[in-house]
Structure 1
Amino acid sequence: MIRNFIGITLQFAFAVTGIVLLGCLPVLMDGNGISAFFHKTVDIAAGLLRPWEIAYVSGDVDVKLFPEFTDAIIYSFTLMGFAFLAALTVSIVLTVLTMLLPLAVKERVKLFVYMTESIPDILVILLLQLFVITIYKQTGIKLTTVISIMDSKPYVLPIICLSVLPTIQLYRLSIYLFEEELRKDYPLFAASVGLKKAFIFIVHILRNILVSLFYQSKTTIWFMLSNLLVLEHLFNIFGITHYVLKYMSPEVFTTALLALFIPIFLFYKFGELLLENTVGRGEGI
């Protein structure tokens, strides 16, 4: 336990150091020299210990980043969190239903999934926005807010847009993990003692693939972060990436990266510890 804690602490320290150095890299690239780069690194590291003093320039005025930035963090992670949960839930349900289909139908579904995975994220967002606008123009029914204006914050449509491609990714991955589990001995043993296919899938195989899915979902999270940049721009959302794009400075860039990294890092590290102390990395009957 102590060794795990030391390992996690070192990983966290190295990652934070790397983010700070990355945030200061523009100073070095501007030709200011290694001395200016070093001083900026020290300034940002010291500023992170006093986040309430971090400021950005808006016009000719220095504006404190916090507490305004806190709302942006909460908003962005609300969208990401619900989108990830929606993608995970829908992909698992679709996977179980797909695995219960006849083999020929299942192969066609898998082919369709592989084809749709290459759809650009910006196309998904624009099509869904266009769909909502068209419904409103034709029927007068406003399904949801399509853009952020003043105090109006869209939630439903951004969450749907952000979850579409991750759902396809997790769906494809879940099918692959399901098929890997089916090649093992315990599903055959369970079937031989009279357990129904649906029961084996849901109670035994699903439990095991959830463990593997958690470990491999990190790629999906980073994919969602890249989509978040496009999403917040197209919906005019004042989230984390808005500050990065509009107030490009080493201080804002570093703070934004840390705001994204720290919650995700803690989520996966605590999740890994929980899984290792409960079910390990998957088990049979």
Structure 2
Amino acid sequence: YFLGIIGIILISCVPAIFSKVTSETYLEALKSIFSAIMHPTTWEINYQGSTEIFLISLTDFITGPYFYTMKIIIASLLISLFIAYLLVILTFRGPIWLRQGLAGFSSILQAFPDFSFIFLIQMLVVYIYQQTGIFTLNFYSLNGEQIYAAPIVCLSIIPTVLFYKIMMLLMKKEWQADYIELARGKGLTNTAILFRHATPN
């Protein structure tokens, strides 16, 4: 890891050799980078926007865009886990037609490319708005407003399908364990076995 960081620093100073804007040499560029690394409070991130270059301190970046992104990712994963578990329960305790429907629907979702879900959800939001006049999800932000619902919904679809398939495999394997037959022999219902024993295991 340390050698990787050193390599990144050495490579990032290469443009100083070919730069016509400054007369800074490669060694001077290295020296300035290493001196800047020694003062974390001065670390800054600059990135090219549509019309201008933005400069932001690392602290502001972590407390701003980074935390915003992490909240969306963590929320989408937790929601995916919860929905996938509910689908597993429905698959094990629901009627046969529901099990077959969930299996077919998950296969259909996996057949779509990841980026297509955003487009399909946007089309659904527009259709609902045209039919009812209700705007369900906001896909853009203005004046620094942070949106959560739309990105969380879009990011939750693929993980939900993957978690569902993984949980189904684990639950099917657990359902064939010896203690399941022992619990049935003691008179426990399948629902009680599913929630009290199979799920924790």
TM-score where L is the length of structure 1: 0.56
The alpha carbon displacement at 1:175 in A equals 0.4
Q: Distance in 1 between matches of 2:199 and 2:10?
A: 45
| Cα distance change on mapping 1:127 and 1:66 into 2, 3 Å | same
1:147 counterpart (140, 149, 156):
140
Q: Which amino acid aligns with 1:110?
A: A
1:64 correspondence with 2:56 = yes
What does the per-residue CA deviation read over 1:195-222, in whole Å, with 9 as the maximum and x for residues that have no partner? 11011111111112xxxxxxxxxxxxxx
Residue of structure 1 equivalent to 2:164: 171
Structure showing the higher helix proportion among its residues? 1
Q: Distance in 2 between matches of 1:130 and 1:166?
A: 21
3-state secondary structure, aligned to 2:58: coil
Q: Distance in 2 between matches of 1:22 and 1:204?
A: 51
Which aligned pairs between 1:233-252 and structure 2 lie closer than 5 A?
none
Residue of structure 2 equivalent to 1:121: 114
Residue of structure 2 equivalent to 1:274: none
| Cα distance change on mapping 1:136 and 1:184 into 2, 3 Å | same
1:195 correspondence with 2:159 = no
1:53 counterpart (38, 43, 48):
43
1:43 counterpart (33, 48, 51):
33
Contact 1:110 1:172 survives alignment (8 Å): no
Root-mean-square deviation (CA, aligned residues, Å) is 3.5
Contact 1:145 1:153 survives alignment (8 Å): no
Residue of structure 1 equivalent to 2:131: 138
Q: What runs of 5+ residues in structure 1 fail to find an aligned partner?
A: 1-13, 209-285
Q: Flag the structure with larger Rg.
A: 2
Which aligned pairs between 1:1-285 and structure 2 lie closer than 5 A?
14=1, 17=2, 20=5, 23-24=8-9, 27=12, 43=33, 47=37, 50-56=40-46, 63-69=55-61, 70-102=63-95, 106-107=99-100, 109-208=102-201
Q: Distance in 1 between matches of 2:172 and 2:189?
A: 17
Q: Distance in 2 between matches of 1:94 and 1:62?
A: 44
Q: Give the number of aligned pairs.
A: 190
Q: Which amino acid aligns with 2:58?
A: F
| Cα distance change on mapping 1:101 and 1:47 into 2, 3 Å | same
TM-score where L is the length of structure 2: 0.76
Contact 1:121 1:165 survives alignment (8 Å): yes
The alpha carbon displacement at 1:170 in A equals 0.2
3-state secondary structure, aligned to 2:115: helix
3-state secondary structure, aligned to 2:199: helix
| Cα distance change on mapping 1:129 and 1:18 into 2, 3 Å | farther
Q: Which amino acid aligns with 1:152?
A: E
What does the per-residue CA deviation read over 1:98-156, in whole Å, with 9 as the maximum and x for residues that have no partner? 01235675355334423422321211111111211222233321212121222332211
Q: Distance in 1 between matches of 2:146 and 2:78?
A: 20
> Once the two structures are aligned, what percentage of the paired residues are identical?
24
Q: Which amino acid aligns with 2:44?
A: I
Q: What runs of 5+ residues in structure 2 fail to find an aligned partner?
A: 18-25
What does the per-residue CA deviation read over 1:225-267, in whole Å, with 9 as the maximum and x for residues that have no partner? xxxxxxxxxxxxxxxxxxxxxxxxxxxxxxxxxxxxxxxxxxx
The alpha carbon displacement at 1:74 in A equals 1.3
